[in-house]
Amino acid sequence: MSLSFALNRTCAPQLALQEFIALAVQVGVSAVEIRNDIEGREFHDGTPAAEVKARLGEAGLVVASVNALQRFNEWTPERAREAEAIIAYAAALGAPGVVLCPVHNEDHGWTEAEAERNLRDGLRQLRPILMAHGVTGYVEPLGMKGSTMKRQDMAVAAISDIDGWDAYQLCYDTFQFFRCGDTQLFPEHIGLAHMSGIARSDLAPGELTEPDRGLIFVGDRVGNIAQLRALQAAGYRGFVSMEPFSPEVQRDPRLGEHLRASLDYVASLLAPEAAA
């Protein structure tokens, strides 16, 4: 299989770092995504990046990203300080990139023109910080109601407009792609991919929320296998990170067993003989 699996810290935010590392080893991934927004965990609790990097290295793991700088397209002096801290931490970890999420509250009050302008302004302001640290910004469209950047083509247009491809790539999320009904794929610009599954059938795609995101098994509504096969066929060869937000997944006493089963299920269907 040409794709490499990673684990996002959302799988088990309740675990201490060493326990999370053990989980990643147990399920057989080669990388993890560190979160900067989990109370009492690495970054947020002040654990030095060198210590996190050393522990991961001892386990044979690397960092796929630091996730995430929120509201990057609402640029303020506070956002600049936050960006500097997160990006510097990512660089010290040896992370190739930082995930960048747009404003996505329904009462943001921006017109479409203001959203377009703010998106480009945020990208311009972030670019020199990213380049100074040698870290890529993984721009992630979010498909929910109220998002100021729902689709991949919106990110591509904005990055192109500021000549920013030396500092940016896309973060492709199978759930976000499904939720907003996106159809366009830009594989040459994708630097990181996220996957998660949806089992519940009582809500339309646009009504689904982050806590609905679980593991991927038979009956998944997101179409992860088809999406990941399309990425493979288009030449994507990077990390695909499992990113569930479901409290049921996070609290699962057999989390390691079920995570491994889900990853094995996805891998088996992405193998060349499965697609033949």
How confident is the prediction along the chain (276 residues), in pLDDT tens digits per residue? 478 999 999 999 999 999 999 999 999 999 999 999 999 899 889 899 999 999 999 999 999 999 999 999 999 999 999 999 999 999 999 999 999 999 998 788 899 999 999 999 999 999 999 999 999 999 999 999 889 999 999 999 999 999 999 999 999 999 999 999 999 999 999 999 999 999 999 999 999 999 999 999 999 999 999 999 999 999 999 999 999 999 999 999 999 999 999 999 999 999 876 755
Return the amino acid letter for 39. E
List for the chain the helix, strand, coil content (%; round to 5): 45, 15, 40
Give Cα 166 to chain centroid, integer Å: 20
Class in CATH terms, 4-275: alpha beta
Task: Return the domain boundaries, the chain.
Answer: 4-275
Residue 151's contacts (CB-CB under 8 Å, 6 or more residues apart) are: 141, 143, 180, 182, 184
Handedness of CA 221, 104, 63, 254 (dihedral sign): negative
| CA dist., res. 60 & res. 22, Å (int) | 11
| CA dist., res. 94 & res. 89, Å (int) | 9
Instruction: Tell me phi and psi for residue 192, to 5 degrees.
Output: -155, 145
Q: What is the pTM of this model?
A: 0.96
